[in-house]
Structure 1
Amino acid sequence: MSDKNFNSIVPDEIVMNKIFYIRKQKVMLASDLAELYQIETRVLNQAVSRNSRRFPDDFMFQLTTEENDALTSQIVISKKGRGGRRVLPNVFTEHGVLMLSSVLNSDRAIQINIQIVRIFTKIRALLIDNADIRTEIEKVKSQLNNQSSNLEVVFRYLDELMEQKEKPRTRIGYKPEGFD
């Protein structure tokens, strides 16, 4: 299928809102992926556990309690005891999402994975663009800091000159007698 003929099944914004930044990498929750694939989360987790060798730690990992709590505060996840999660959720990195396409054989899973990979690529490009902008901003900040420190030196010298001007000066040169 060519890029021109590819139609998104789900709006890109919905997929982008399901990408989180955890442990310095972009990840997606297993439950969000299952929702996009239109399967139950347990079915996705079963497929992954049957093929666990395909999902090393850099492809998929389980959130810590702290990470889960931070994520829970960002998005609405029901609390334990109210029909919510009973175990800490798994998350998939970009490579893990790619590997899911080999585990889940439905046409929808393949199409969604293609869309997710394209979105990850767009995000990466945006981050690279932002990194260039961030570098330029840091240059400007350092120049401003240098100028600020230079101005401080100039003002310090001006203050010293003002203090010297306020002190009575002793006259130098020829003094005729009787004039003091």
Structure 2
Amino acid sequence: MQIIRSIQNRIYEIRGERVILDFDLAVLYEVETRTLNQTVKRNSKRFPADFMFQLTRQEFAVLRQEIDKLYDDEYQQVTDMSSQFVMTYPGKRPKTAQPYAFTEQGVAMLSGLLNSDKAIQMNIAIMRAFVEIRRIMLQQSDLAEQLTQIQERITGHDAQLSAIYDAIENLLDEKAAQKKWDNRQRIGFNTK
């Protein structure tokens, strides 16, 4: 479970897509980033733009701070606990070249190209992480829908309560007017 959580930390939302960057995949598959990218370039027909794209300088600059924080947090975890399940980056942080971003379909396509046992195990874990994120997003959208329904009900109830308060106020005004009418000073002839 911790490995899936570690993978989820490496899934970013860029251009409206959930993606994993090439250097993160290289670490997960235990290959060099250069080797992974060469494999992709040799099979470029398998990776259309909706499977993989290269980040712009601006996108990577924005993402860089988040990535650095992830490295620092994971480095601290590794020094605190000696667990093999916490994914670490071997020795150095990724280079400053713009990385490639792989969508879920791109990762699935990549798994067909990397056939090591580690790559197969990691691909299964990555797919589970994507599925878990999708499940969480669906739960959040369900909650948002429920909140919208509750808000609509409350708005409807507010209107109904306002109508009830107005009716009660009118009844009280009528009762006060009737009482005032009954207690008025009579004029005219007294017939008693």
Alignment TM-score > 0.5, same fold:
yes
Equivalent of 2:47 in 55, 58, 62: 55
Structure 2: runs of 5 or more not aligned: 72-92, 170-180
- Counterpart Cα distance in 2 of 1:148 and 1:23: 41
Matched, 1:119 2:142: no
Change over 3 Å in CA distance of 1:36–1:146 after alignment to 2: same
After superposing the two structures, state which structure 1 stretch, 144-153 or 115-124, moved more: 144-153
Q: Determine if contact 2:5/2:129 at 8 Å carries over to the other structure.
A: no
Matched, 1:110 2:120: yes
Matched, 1:31 2:23: yes
TM-score between both structures, scaled by the size of structure 1: 0.71
- Counterpart Cα distance in 2 of 1:31 and 1:16: 15
Q: Give, as a single letter, the amino acid of the residue that structure 1 aligns with 2:149.
A: K
1:128-172 superposed Cα distances (whole Å, 9 cap, x missing partner)? 22222221111112222344456677889999xxxxxxxxxxx9x
Alignment of 1:1-180 (within 5 A): 11-76=3-68, 85-148=95-158
Task: State the 1:122 CA deviation.
Answer: 2.1
Task: Give identity over the alignment, percent.
Answer: 39
- Counterpart Cα distance in 1 of 2:33 and 2:159: 58
What SS is found at the alignment partner of 1:61? strand
- Counterpart Cα distance in 1 of 2:5 and 2:63: 19
Structure 1: runs of 5 or more not aligned: 1-7, 160-170
- Counterpart Cα distance in 1 of 2:162 and 2:65: 45
**Residue in structure 2 matched with residue 165 of structure 1 by the alignment:** none
- Counterpart Cα distance in 1 of 2:61 and 2:118: 31
Q: Greater RCO between the two (CA within 8 Å, min separation 6)? A: 2
